[in-house]
Amino acid sequence: MKLSIYKIMNRMIQFISNQIKWWVTLVLAIFKFYLLTGIFLLPLKGNSQNISLQMCHDSLEQHFPLANQSERLLELYELKIQDLQKQYLPSAYLKARATYQSEVTSIDMAVPGLTPPQVPKDQLSAQLEINQVLYDGGLTKASKNLVKQQLAGELQKVETDMYQLKKQVNELFYLSLMMQENHQILELTKENINARIQVVGSGVAQGVAQASDLDHLQAEKLRLEQQIIGLELGRKQALEALEQLTGFQFPLNVKLELPLETMPESTLLLRPEQKHFQQQMQVIDASSELSAKKRMPTLGAFATAGYGKPGYDMFNESMHGFYLVGAQLQWHIWDWKTNQRAQKQNLIQKQLLNDQLDAFNQQQAIGLNEAEMRIMKLEQMLDKDLEIIKLQQKISDRSARQLENGTITSADYLRDLNEEKQARINLSLHQIQKSQAMTDLIFLAGKPTSKTKTE
């Protein structure tokens, strides 16, 4: 009996062990599948995730409607080029005509035994006309170049518009980052006040502290909670605006990374706006070249084959075939100075663009100088912020001990604590402002951003 019980127990243990192995194998297989497919790497709302400014820029380039314009412009360019290339191919026209006229030319000649030919009043014919361009004076080549330069200008305009959108992303990113950092400071301050509330509350219960001090602390806690609510709503609004621009789905507890930018080199790169100005000038040059080519001589061949009556022999009244081949030269030798005026208009347009480019360069130089001065100012302020925080923290710690001992009121403590809180907020504000000034300087210099602060 005991032996059978042991057998039953061993079988049960073996069965449970097999089941456990089966489930472990299944779980490992599922985990391996998710790991290989990268599902664990997908950003989900509700999961903590660090977002950098560069990630926002990359998402903007992929998801904003302007991102599709480049492909559409290239497709449009290919269609235009195909149309221009077809100008070298022969063109064919099929014509059919049936007429009847009231009178025709006749020959009044009385010759014995000879009937003069008569031109028929009814005419019927079908003709096929073929034209072939042999030489167009470079008109097609100039037209292709103009289309190419126009495409480059449109693509550059897309890049310029995207550059402006990135500046909007920068502003929203830093605004949200500033609220994020201030929110953390307020939460830390709230924790300090909660700690003091517990100490003072215990003192009130023991009769060694005043109830008014506890009320002051609780009122200050409520004010902090109001400020936290305002920051949360403001940050949510800024993140929603970022989502609209970038298409990036920000998690609820997303943490934005503070970019760590370095001072760019003195050499400047061309901004997209400057490239756009230059490309517009190239479009004008291509347009001038096309205007000049329109006055060049053109040479073509043509052929006509038909069937009907009469053909080229007006006296032949029978249905018959006929044809004609030839060559044609055209040269626009006088255009009443239309091309000359067009060239002058293009020259004026280039001068206007040069003036706009000079004005832009001047504004860029002013902006770079202002950004550099702002960075220098913030660096000096940051040094002072650190010293102020050290002193204010000593004062707050001293006030906290005095509040616990009952030698000062809660109002005195809160004043010192708020000064420390403001000092920390100023430090965070100046750090973000410096990073933003660095980003602005890099954008003004026409250089991309790259580095971020990793936590």
Please state the domain extents for the chain: 51-87+136-296+331-448
Residue 225, pLDDT above cutoff 90: yes
Window from 4-18, 69-83, 134-148 with minimum mean pLDDT = 4-18
pLDDT band at 263 (very low <50, low <70, confident <90, very high): low
Question: What span, in angstroms and rounded, lies between the C-alpha atoms of 309 and 320?
Answer: 7
pLDDT band at 63 (very low <50, low <70, confident <90, very high): confident
Residue 12, pLDDT above cutoff 70: no
Report percent pLDDT > 70 for the chain: 84
Mean pLDDT of the 401-423 span: 87
How many residues are recorded in the chain?
455
How open is the CA angle 380-381-383, to the nearest 5 degrees? 70
pLDDT band at 247 (very low <50, low <70, confident <90, very high): confident
Q: What is the predicted pLDDT for the residue at 442?
A: 87
| CB-based contact 178:69 (threshold 8 Å) | no
Window from 113-117, 132-136, 392-396, 450-454 with minimum mean pLDDT = 450-454
Q: What is the predicted pLDDT for the residue at 148?
A: 95
Q: What is the predicted pLDDT for the residue at 451?
A: 44
pLDDT band at 296 (very low <50, low <70, confident <90, very high): very high
Q: What is the predicted pLDDT for the residue at 261?
A: 65
Report percent pLDDT > 90 for the chain: 48
CB count in 10 Å sphere of residue 34: 12
Question: What span, in angstroms and rounded, lies between the C-alpha atoms of 407 and 412?
Answer: 10
Residue 319 three-state SS: coil
Entry pTM: 0.72
* Token reading at 435: 């990073």
pLDDT band at 237 (very low <50, low <70, confident <90, very high): very high
Q: What is the predicted pLDDT for the residue at 386?
A: 94
| CB-based contact 130:90 (threshold 8 Å) | yes
Residue 455 three-state SS: coil
Residue 45, pLDDT above cutoff 50: no
Residue 108, pLDDT above cutoff 80: no
Residue 177, pLDDT above cutoff 70: yes
Question: What span, in angstroms and rounded, lies between the C-alpha atoms of 242 and 254?
Answer: 13
Look-up: residue for tokens 């302007």?
A: 66
Q: What is the predicted pLDDT for the residue at 21?
A: 53
Residue 35, pLDDT above cutoff 60: no
Higher per-residue pLDDT: 46 or 222 = 222
Mean pLDDT of the 110-118 span: 70
For domain 51-87+136-296+331-448, which architecture applies? Up-down Bundle (1.20)
Residue 316, pLDDT above cutoff 90: no
pLDDT band at 318 (very low <50, low <70, confident <90, very high): confident
Mean pLDDT of the 3-13 span: 49
The string of pLDDT tens digits covering residues 357-409 is: 999 999 999 988 998 999 999 999 999 999 999 999 999 999 989 988 888 88
Residue 324, pLDDT above cutoff 60: yes
Q: What is the predicted pLDDT for the residue at 36?
A: 38
H or E, element range at 97? strand 91-100
pLDDT band at 267 (very low <50, low <70, confident <90, very high): low
* Token reading at 194: 């909660």
| CB-based contact 70:151 (threshold 8 Å) | no
Residue 112, pLDDT above cutoff 80: no
Q: What is the predicted pLDDT for the residue at 28?
A: 46
Mean pLDDT of the chain: 84
CB count in 10 Å sphere of residue 384: 13
Residue 310, pLDDT above cutoff 60: yes
Mean pLDDT of the 147-172 span: 93
* Token reading at 130: 């073929």
Q: What is the predicted pLDDT for the residue at 1?
A: 44
DSSP secondary-structure letter at 264? Answer: P
Q: What is the predicted pLDDT for the residue at 43?
A: 39
DSSP secondary-structure letter at 121? Answer: S
Q: What is the predicted pLDDT for the residue at 26?
A: 46
| CB-based contact 281:352 (threshold 8 Å) | no
pLDDT band at 46 (very low <50, low <70, confident <90, very high): very low
β-pair type (50-51, 91-100): unpaired
Residue 164, pLDDT above cutoff 80: yes
